[in-house]
Amino acid sequence: FSTLMSKRAPPPATPARPLEAAAVLEAAARVFRERGFGATSMADVARELGVSRPALYYYFPSKDAILASLVEAVTVSIAEQARSLAESPRERDPGARLHALVARHAGFIAAHASIFHVLQQSQPYLPAPLRTVNAQGKDAVLRSFEKVISAGVRRGTFRAVQPSVAALAVLGMCNGCASWFRPDGPMSADAVGELIADMAVASLALPGERAPRADLAEPLARARVALGRLNELIELIEPA
Side chain identity at 34, as an amino acid letter? Answer: E
Q: Of 90-104, 169-183, 216-230, which gets the smallest average pLDDT?
A: 216-230
Q: Which residues contact 158 (CB under 8 A, 6 or more apart)?
A: 94, 95, 149, 152, 166, 204, 205, 206
pLDDT at residue 152 in the model: 93
pLDDT in tens, 42-79: 999 999 988 888 888 888 999 999 988 888 878 888 88
pLDDT band per the 50, 70, 90 thresholds, residue 12: very low
pLDDT in tens, 102-159: 999 999 999 888 888 888 888 888 888 888 888 899 999 999 999 999 999 999 999 9
pLDDT at residue 220 in the model: 53
| 10 pLDDT more than 50 | no
| 8 pLDDT more than 60 | no
pLDDT at residue 71 in the model: 85
Percent share of the chain, pLDDT over 90: 37
